[in-house]
Amino acid sequence: MHADIVVLPGDGIGPEIVAATLPVLEAVASRFGHRFSFAEHDIGGIAIDRHGEPLPAETLEAARKADAVLLGAVGGPKWSDPSAKVRPEQGLLAIRKALGLFANLRPVRPHPAALGASPIKSELLQGVDIMVVRELTGGIYFGDKTRTDTEATDLCRYSVVEIERVVRSAAALARGRRGHLTSVDKANVLETSRLWRDVATRVMREEFPDVTLEHQLVDSMAMHLLSRPRAYDVIVTENMFGDILTDEASMLAGSLGLLASASLGAGRVGIYEPIHGSAPDIAGKGIANPYATILSAAMLLRHSLRLEAEAAAVEAAVSSALDAKVFTADLAAAGQGVDTRSAAQAVVERLA
């Protein structure tokens, strides 16, 4: 098959990890007889510098026409003033919304060879396999905001339709896995969470009676996620709770550098990116971990291009590299670790 992939390197380590991932996709194309075309565009801070806005119109137009979008990271200290009217993160929020992407999938599956890098006891991590589904278009991030000299407000808003569609997506995933869905809210305090719980309960009762539904309050979920992570299969939650919980869940895997994500909507196009940030402290040093971006590319193959065997081959190649202890600095002992390109090359070699 032929696929057009828009590449958005972004800021910080973004260009390095994306550049390391493209040869992996090219190796997949070579091995399986596909042709992938890559078109690079700006987003985030680099787009502000070059175009005066975090999401140039040409970037969005290219993304709309593409089969999939591979993204590095956005943001950095150069653009970190929270009071600035134009910020890199606005580009990411805007492109997700413009493409109608409402479900952010973040798998957490600790690799046995990397358990030592996690601060969590290894016996708690064996067999952990979680899929977190975070809602992307609603909640406090997108609500009306006000600011005066003496106070500020952020409106948290959710509609029935927004909750229904993300719960359906998560339930469908749970149905194909272990049949257990945990819905996370704060229904003892927030009206939006009470609506969330009511809608989730109805959707599951009417459409997914074969999937077990469990409700958890977000504060207790934060505790259980670390104390008994094997108890969870698919977790679905609203925008801000999902943002926080998935960063917490990264500790189960040992490093943010191992966690991929896919932002999906009703169509085939999606945005695929590592969940970590732009890591400006190590940008330009060539030591960033590319595995999360490579695993995001595997999700791209699976969800947008419908190439399951190819996606599984990439995941197996990453797993084999980790088995061989091809570790970057975030996973290795202090002062050790291979560089970004060497880690990616280990994956390419295993795909050959």
List the catalytic residues.
141, 186, 219, 243, 247
d(C-alpha 206, C-alpha 248), whole Å: 32
Q: Using the 8-state DSSP alphabet, how is residue 279 labeled?
A: -
Please give the radius of gyration of the chain, using alpha carbons only, rounded to the nearest integer: 20
Please spell the DSSP secondary structure of 199-229, one letter per residue: HHHHHHHHH-TTSEEEEEEHHHHHHHHHH-G
CA distance 63 to 25: 18
Q: Which residues pair with 216 in a beta bridge?
A: 184
CB-CB contact of 166 with 268 (8 Å): no
| Cα→Cα distances 278→39, 69, 80, 83, 189, Å | 21, 17, 12, 20, 34
Both tokens of 225, joined, read: 């996620």
Contacts of 61 (CB under 8 A, 6+ apart): none
Residue 288 DSSP label: -
